DNA sequence: ATGAAAGCGCTAACAA
DNA sequence: TTGTTAGCGCTTTCAT
């Protein structure tokens, strides 16, 4: 029952097993006849090369790991698709790991991939892990950060300018005429909440508006979504006229909560998100947002990883740390304020 | 630079390398002192066990493969989450592969996983592959089908009763008072389009309605989404009053297309989907649908795989072929028809 | 063109 | 308790 090996084939073909190896790998120096015979037997035996054994000797697994926090947020699958595509072109397969916003799981997966001796790892960290932690988990395995870069890392990364994007989003809301513009953090936004909140605050203060904590809704214990937060804000009587949500999924949730409380979007509450996940563009939704070049993020991270694998040098330096530009996408949910119609 | 091996540690600790192996694997028969020494050195060396080598000798990789057609459709990540959870409890890691509705890629991944000698594979096939094809790709590797079962397979599977669910969806629309109820297939619905169309047709005919092909929109060449199809139907003047979409993503797309043409949902066009992806439940959307127990699908498939791996017998039989019941979820988009308000 | 043999890093008998 | 040895299935010199 155990699958056939190269030796079984060798025996059946009456050659040494090194000849079989050569034939199967299409290497020079095998007689056409023998080669033919070997292929026939291999097919007949249903031979499947043992990649484990191959990897052991070649020290190359032709596999890369992709560690993502949440495949359930459509943003990540889009990035994954970009990675897949690019990896495919290089003949690499992708081992996708979902950490589910669990720090321990993240570490476990990084370690695991290193143990499996993948050729490299692309990871979207869930928090600002100290570099040594990552290093400890992956050892010498090449790593590229995607979607976010830990502070002062020397590793290659591809991300977008979160601060800038958040500034643009907030600014847009202000320009639309809203006097009170709030921020809502994601339940599991991990690392991105810091720069996004920061960009929000910058825009607020640049506009000469007083930064007001009451309009900043960060998830508290027991709150699991943007909907919970907006409902809290409403019940506390400090719901702003416009909101910048940390990401589109949160924005959706916020809108759901607001609508459940009888608020209309954007008439009573304007909303803008971040990411531009596919559903944001749906007619029925029309969520204004900051677009991230998701597939591109994926593609580029593979490219950076390839460089690192091939050179096998630590390969530091600017050109390997890419910051992409965000893009403002205006849709329905951030329609202009109507000052003639004061709230309530 | 190459990572340290067990031998390096042995040398440094002045013991044989089998002792190191024993110590590191927490096996009996190692002096507390030596054990201690070995651990210290291992840590110091940043030792990472080579899973490749381990797998080669133990013949067990503690890894399973999960092959999915489209992580971009929120249905699949939910199933994946279920698989992850269950696998985790068994100490297995999951190698997630996205075929992107590409048959060739699917075969490649199955083969690849088999070559990597994963302990087993859970796959959601994109079409009704003949059993031999799968067999040819995976060899003796245990396989469980999820989300769909190929006709007359003897392998274990977990799926829901698609035909039944589709019947329920269609029936619901009819009960709501719609006289014309259509069907829209998914752009890349793969295998599920057959039973879902079948269930639709059964319900139509059971209700004494004449099955009318004009109301059945299957994607044609060049059409990439439900939106394209509904727009074609509208332009051809044969848009029904209510629609059962093959899945929620398609339903979303259909609604987008309909609304772009000025139709209101559900006033002008009632819609019901299939899957109950998370966004379907959002207030702003309120998509009626047929719920699939997605996480459960994942959990159960892992359980079936575990059985198969442990027994290593082909393990056929009824109890390993699970058909779950679908559940009708009524929301906003399938509101009752208002006969007093004839169309147009 | 083919074979023999070494060895990738590890586990698991079997000895000592 | 520890060491020795034989592989796991494969690629890759080095001979022939």
CB contact (8 A) between residue A285 and residue B284: yes
Contact residues, chain A, for B259 at CB < 8 Å:
283-284
Name which of B52, B116, B279 is nearest A279 (Cβ-Cβ). B279
Rounded average pLDDT over B56-62: 93
Question: What is d(CA A178, CA A162) in angstroms, rounded to the nearest whole number?
Answer: 22
Q: Residue holding tokens 């019941």?
A: B325
Is the model's pLDDT at A315 over the cut of 70? no
Is the model's pLDDT at A150 over the cut of 90? no
The CATH number of domain B162-292+329-334, selected from 3.10.180.10, 3.50.30.50, 3.40.50.2300, 3.30.1360.40: 3.40.50.2300
At A143, is the secondary structure helix, strand, or coil? strand
Domain boundaries, chain A: 6-49, 63-160+293-325, 162-292+329-334
Q: What is the model's pLDDT at position A189?
A: 59
Distance from CA of A113 to the nearest CA of B (A): 9
Q: Which two tokens stand for residue A26?
A: 């299409």
Q: Residue holding tokens 């321990």?
A: A104
CA B19 to chain centre: 44
CA angle B47, B53, B56 (to 5 degrees): 155
Name the residue closest to C6, CA to C1'.
A57
CB contact (8 A) between residue B256 and residue A136: no
Q: Which nucleotide is nearest to A58 (CA to C1')?
A: D11
Of chain A, the percentage scoring pLDDT greater than 70 comes to 95
Rounded average pLDDT over A93-100: 88
Rounded average pLDDT over A322-326: 96
pLDDT in tens, B194-210: 899 999 999 999 999 99
Is the model's pLDDT at B317 over the cut of 70? no
CB contact (8 A) between residue B140 and residue A3: yes
Average pLDDT, chain B: 91
Rounded average pLDDT over A264-271: 95
Question: What is d(CA B4, CA B20) in angstroms, rounded to the nearest whole number?
Answer: 13
Contact residues, chain B, for A82 at CB < 8 Å:
none
Task: Report CA-CA distances (Å) from B144 to A301, B50, B71, B163, B310.
Answer: 33, 28, 19, 21, 14
Q: What is the model's pLDDT at position A343?
A: 46
User: B104: buried, middle or exposed (CB in 10 Å: 19+, 13-18, 0-12)?
Assistant: exposed
Question: Which of B24, B25, B77, B102 to mutate against chain A (most A CBs within 10 Å)?
Answer: B77
Q: What are residue B181's phi and psi, to 5 degrees?
A: -120, 120
Contact residues, chain A, for B282 at CB < 8 Å:
252-253, 255-256
CB contact (8 A) between residue B56 and residue A56: yes
Give the residue on A whose Cα is nearest the Cα of B333.
A284
Name which of A48, A112, A284 is nearest B115 (Cβ-Cβ). A48
Question: What is d(CA B253, CA B248) in angstroms, rounded to the nearest whole number?
Answer: 9
Strand partners, A222: none
Q: Domain spanning A63-160+293-325 has what CATH number?
A: 3.40.50.2300
Q: Is it true that the peptide bond before B125 is cis, omega within 30 degrees of 0?
A: no
Strand partners, B65: B95, B121
pTM value is: 0.87
Is the model's pLDDT at A86 over the cut of 90? yes
Contact in structure between B274 and B247 (CB atoms under 8 Å): yes
Give the residue on B whose Cα is nearest the Cα of A47.
B139
Question: Which of A8, A54, A55, A314 to mutate against chain B (most B CBs within 10 Å)?
Answer: A55
Q: Could you tell me which residues come within 8 angstroms of residue B52 by beta carbon, excluding any fewer than 6 positions away?
A: A52, A55, A56, A61, A116, A117
Strand partners, B63: B93
Of chain B, the percentage scoring pLDDT greater than 90 comes to 73
Q: What is the model's pLDDT at position A337?
A: 84
Q: Which two tokens stand for residue A38?
A: 């070997």
CB contact (8 A) between residue B255 and residue A282: yes
User: Per-residue confidence at A344, pLDDT binned at 50, 70, 90?
Assistant: very low
Is the model's pLDDT at B316 over the cut of 70? no
Question: What is d(CA B250, CA B126) in angstroms, rounded to the nearest whole number?
Answer: 17
Strand C: which bases are under 7 Å from protein Cβ?
Answer: 1-5, 7-13
Mean pLDDT comparison of A165-174, A224-233, B9-18, highest-scoring range: A165-174
Q: What is the model's pLDDT at position B188?
A: 67
Distance from CA of B211 to the nearest CA of A (A): 30
Question: What is d(CA A272, CA A291) in angstroms, rounded to the nearest whole number?
Answer: 11
CA B107 to chain centre: 16
Contact residues, chain A, for B266 at CB < 8 Å:
none
pLDDT in tens, A7-64: 999 999 999 999 999 999 988 888 999 999 999 999 999 999 999 999 999 999 999 9
Contact residues, chain A, for B83 at CB < 8 Å:
none
Name which of B49, B95, B140 is nearest A115 (Cβ-Cβ). B49
Q: Which two tokens stand for residue A343?
A: 């709230």
Q: Which two tokens stand for residue A254?
A: 């916020």
Q: Residue holding tokens 């889009």?
A: A78
Contact residues, chain B, for A1 at CB < 8 Å:
140, 312
Strand D: which bases are under 7 Å from protein Cβ?
Answer: 1-5, 7-13
Give the residue on B whose Cα is nearest the Cα of A55.
B52
Q: Which two tokens stand for residue B31?
A: 């002096």
By DSSP bridging, strand A289-291 and strand A327-329 are antiparallel
Question: What is d(CA A123, CA A120) in angstroms, rounded to the nearest whole number?
Answer: 10
Rounded average pLDDT over B137-166: 92
Closest CA to A25 of A3, A2, A58: A58
Q: Could you tell me which residues come within 8 angstroms of residue A104 by beta carbon, excluding any fewer than 6 positions away?
A: none
Contact in structure between B223 and B214 (CB atoms under 8 Å): no
Range scoring the smallest mean pLDDT among A64-73, A78-87, A181-190, B233-242: A181-190
Q: Which nucleotide is nearest to B22 (CA to C1')?
A: C11
Q: What is the model's pLDDT at position B29?
A: 83
**Torsion sign (Cα): A4, A9, A10, A11:** positive
Contact residues, chain B, for A312 at CB < 8 Å:
1
Q: What is the model's pLDDT at position A317?
A: 55
Q: Where on the phi/psi map is residue A127: left (φ > 0), alpha (ψ -120 to 50), or beta? A: beta
Instruction: Count chain A–chain B contacts defined by CB atoms under 8 A.
Output: 142
User: Per-residue confidence at A333, pLDDT binned at 50, 70, 90?
Assistant: very high
Is the model's pLDDT at A313 over the cut of 70? no
Distance from CA of A176 to the nearest CA of B (A): 23
B216 DSSP assignment: E
Q: What are residue B143's phi and psi, to 5 degrees?
A: -135, 140
B170-203 burial, b at 16+ Cβ within 10 Å, e below that, comes to bbbbbebebebbbbbbbbbbbbbbbbbbebbbbb
Strand spans (E) along A185-268: 216-217, 242-245
Query: Using CA atoms in the order B205, B207, B210, B211, what is the torsion angle rounded to 10 degrees?
Result: -40
Q: What are residue A15's phi and psi, to 5 degrees?
A: -135, 175
CB contact (8 A) between residue A115 and residue B256: no
Residue B35 host element (H or E): helix B32-45
Strand partners, B242: B181, B270
Q: Identical fold at B6-49 and B63-160+293-325?
A: no
Q: Domain spanning A6-49 has what CATH number?
A: 1.10.260.40
Q: Which nucleotide is nearest to A4 (CA to C1')?
A: D9
- How far apart are the two ends of chain B, measured CA to CA in Å? 75
DSSP letter for each residue of A168-193? HHHHHHHHTT-S-EEEE--TT-GGGH
Of chain A, the percentage scoring pLDDT greater than 90 comes to 74
More confident position, A221 or B236: B236
The whole-number Å distance from A9's CA to D15's C1' is: 23
Instruction: Cite residues whose beta carbon is less than 7 Å from strand C.
Output: A 14-19, 22, 28-31, 33-35, 53, 56-57, 59; B 2, 5-7, 17-18, 21, 24-25, 49-50, 53-54, 56-58
DSSP letter for each residue of B150-191? -TT--S-EEEE-HHHHHHHHHHHHHHTT-S-EEEE--TT-GG
Q: Which nucleotide is nearest to A22 (CA to C1')?
A: D11
Contact residues, chain B, for A250 at CB < 8 Å:
none
Contact residues, chain A, for B111 at CB < 8 Å:
48
The whole-number Å distance from A43's CA to D9's C1' is: 18
CB contact (8 A) between residue A78 and residue B100: no
Question: What is d(CA A245, CA A250) in angstroms, rounded to the nearest whole number?
Answer: 6
Residue B120 host element (H or E): strand B120-123
Rounded average pLDDT over A245-260: 93
Q: Residue holding tokens 């309530």?
A: A344
Name which of A93, A114, A283 is nearest B48 (Cβ-Cβ). A114
Strand order in the sheet with A270-272: A216-217, A181-184, A242-245, A270-272
Name the residue closest to C2, CA to C1'.
A19
Q: What is the model's pLDDT at position B314?
A: 53
Task: Report CA-CA distances (Å) from A48 to A3, A53, A244, B105, B310.
Answer: 7, 12, 53, 17, 22
Contact in structure between B71 and B80 (CB atoms under 8 Å): yes
Question: What is d(CA B323, CA B253) in angstroms, rounded to the nearest whole number?
Answer: 29
- How far apart are the two ends of chain A, measured CA to CA in Å? 75
Q: Which nucleotide is nearest to B56 (CA to C1')?
A: D8
CB contact (8 A) between residue A71 and residue B63: no
Distance from CA of B16 to the nearest CA of A (A): 22
pLDDT in tens, B242-269: 999 999 999 999 998 998 899 999 999 9
DSSP letter for each residue of B271-326? EE-SB--GGGGSTTT--BEEE--HHHHHHHHHHHHHHHHHH-S---SGGGEEEEPP
Closest CA to A226 of A206, A255, A196: A255
């Amino acid at each position: 029952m155990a699958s056939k090996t190269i030796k079984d084939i060798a025996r059946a073909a009456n050659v040494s097993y090194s000849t079989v190896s050569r034939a199967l790998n299409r290497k020079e120096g095998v007689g056409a006849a023998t080669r033919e015979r070997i292929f026939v037997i291999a097919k007949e035996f249903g031979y499947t090369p043992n990649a484990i054994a191959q990897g052991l000797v070649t020290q190359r697994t032709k596999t890369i790991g992709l560690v993502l926090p949440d495949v359930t947020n459509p943003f990540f699958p889009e990035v994954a698709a970009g990675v897949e595509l690019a990896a495919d072109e290089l003949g690499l397969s992708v081992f996708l790991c979902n950490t589910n916003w669990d720090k321990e799981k993240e570490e476990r997966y990084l370690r695991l991939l290193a143990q499996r001796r993948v050729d490299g790892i692309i990871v979207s960290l869930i928090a600002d892990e100290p570099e040594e932690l990552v290093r400890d988990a992956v050892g010498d395995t090449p790593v590229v950060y995607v979607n976010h870069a830990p502070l002062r890392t020397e590793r290659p990364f591809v991300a977008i300018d979160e601060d800038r994007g958040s500034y643009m989003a907030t600014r847009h809301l202000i320009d639309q005429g809203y006097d009170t513009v709030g921020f809502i953090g994601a339940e599991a936004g991990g690392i991105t909440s810091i720069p996004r909140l920061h960009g929000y605050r910058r825009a607020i203060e640049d506009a000469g508006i007083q930064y007001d904590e009451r309009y900043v809704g960060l998830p508290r214990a027991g709150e699991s979504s943007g909907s919970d937060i907006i409902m809290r804000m409403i019940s506390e009587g400090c719901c702003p006229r416009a909101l910048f949500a940390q990401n589109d999924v949160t924005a959706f949730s916020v809108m759901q909560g607001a609508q459940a409380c009888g608020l209309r979007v954007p008439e009573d509450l304007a909303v803008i998100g971040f990411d531009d996940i596919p559903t944001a563009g749906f007619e029925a939704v029309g969520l204004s947002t900051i677009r991230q070049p998701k597939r591109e993020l994926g593609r580029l991270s593979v490219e950076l990883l390839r460089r690192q694998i091939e050179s096998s040098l630590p390969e530091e330096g600017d050109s390997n740390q890419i910051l992409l530009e965000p893009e403002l996408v205006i849709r329905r949910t951030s329609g202009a304020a109507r000052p003639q119609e004061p709230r309530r």
